[in-house]
Structure formats: C-alpha cells, structure tokens
C-alpha cells in the first residue's frame, strides 16, 4: 500500500512517517505540506490511503475531501485535526472520510487504522 500524509507541519509529517515506517504492508510513504503538493502527488502516485489535516493554511474544509474522493473514489481517507468536534466529524464522514481523529489525543489511532486497512487488504 502507498500512503500520502498531508499536514502543514513538517514535525507532524516526520512523526507520522516514524509511526508508520515499521508497517510491512506499506510500500511507500509520500508527504505533502500544501494543497498544490497534495493534488499533484495524488495524481502522480495514486495512494491507497491519505492521512490529511483538513485545516490547512491555504484552504480549509470538506471541499478538499470531496475533490479527493472525486479523483480517487476508492482511497481511504483519514482526517487528523486539532479542531475535532462531533459536528465536524459528522460532516467529514458524510463526505467520504473513513476515519476521523483528534490530533492532540488520538494521534496513535492513525497507526491502528492503517494496520486495520493492511489486514483488510491481505484477506
């Protein structure tokens, strides 16, 4: 599986890469720190899973998720945000998000979600 990590913080991207680097099912981890990098990487690399913070400096909101799902309908979307609320979670899930986590308190759950997707792909 190929993973694309999207966050405006290089520190968060590095921490996520370290967290996921030991998964045997992951072939490649790509990163993007802005929207132009995000969509060019999606187009070129066709990731299986995208881990994304939808609150980016250059654009905020579910329109990002809608555009991703339009271009890659089978991609698994994992939202990790500092602005986690039940209302935002519901909106994200209605727009194709498979997993939604609070960056401050549920960061490790990203790895568990990807591990689950790895197990689903191998069965």
pLDDT attached to residue 79: 94
| Domain-located, residue 6 | no
pLDDT attached to residue 44: 92
Tally of domains in the chain? 1
| Domain-located, residue 16 | no
| Domain-located, residue 43 | yes
Is 30 within 8 Å of 47 (Cβ atoms)? yes
Question: For residue 75, what are the domain limits?
Answer: 30-82+94-105
pLDDT along the chain (123 residues), means of 10: 92 91 90 85 93 70 86 93 86 93 91 91 70
What CATH number has the domain bearing residue 62? 3.40.50.2300
pLDDT attached to residue 84: 81
pLDDT attached to residue 60: 56
Q: 3-state DSSP call for residue 105?
A: coil
| Domain-located, residue 87 | no
pTM above threshold 0.75: yes
| Domain-located, residue 9 | no
| Domain-located, residue 25 | no
């Amino acid at each position: 599986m190929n993973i694309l990590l999207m966050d405006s913080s290089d520190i968060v991207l590095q921490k996520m890469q370290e967290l996921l680097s030991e998964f045997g099912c992951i072939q490649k981890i790509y990163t993007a720190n802005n929207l132009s990098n995000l969509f060019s990487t999606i187009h070129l690399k066709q990731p299986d899973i995208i881990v994304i913070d939808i609150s980016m400096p250059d654009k905020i909101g579910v329109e990002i998720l809608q555009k991703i799902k339009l271009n890659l309908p089978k991609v698994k979307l994992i939202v990790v945000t500092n602005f986690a609320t039940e209302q935002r979670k519901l909106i994200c899930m209605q727009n194709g998000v498979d997993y939604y986590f609070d960056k401050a308190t549920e960061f490790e759950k990203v790895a568990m979600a990807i591990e689950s997707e790895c197990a689903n792909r191998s069965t």
